[in-house]
Homo-oligomer: A and B are copies of this chain.
């Protein structure tokens, strides 16, 4: 979907992120690549998701430099946004509350989940005409 791609500006990238429901967090551990689809929210200029305890949280701690991707398509066009940044686990209740994640989504705040924030250093958005490739 790369042929004839149009570059999206940062505002358009954030709009696409805000509209997307599922994104994919990509971790790299040595030669190994891990990809996790997550429900997420946008809060401030960050991507926020929650995670049950497990391998994803261990990766956040050990390999915080991640990529995050969303894409969308209709019959004619496709969009994708990728951002790169550091993933960090939100440690304190007030930090979680101030991140905006609890207000943005219907997730129950009293469940014992962990919240992760990715603050992008860099992002890239593209729009493609799908007719060019299929």
Contact = CB atoms under 8 A, between A and B. Distances in A.
Interface in A58-93: 65-67, 69, 71, 73, 78, 80, 82, 84
Among A51, A78, A80, A134, the one with the most B-chain Cβ atoms within 10 Å of its Cβ is A134
Given A1-B37, A36-B1, A50 B105 contact: no
Contacts of A52: 2-3, 132-133
Interface residues on A, range: 35 or more
Contact of A71 (B2, B22, B84): B22
A22 B65 CA distance: 25
Nearest to A70: B37
A130 B21 CA distance: 12
Interface of A: 1-3, 21-22, 24, 26, 28, 31-39, 50-52, 54-56, 65-67, 69, 71, 73, 78, 80, 82, 84, 105-107, 113, 130, 132-134
Given A2-B52, A105-B134, 11 more contacts: A1-B22, A1-B38, A2-B51, A2-B54, A24-B24, A26-B35, A35-B69, A35-B82, A37-B69, A39-B133, A107-B133
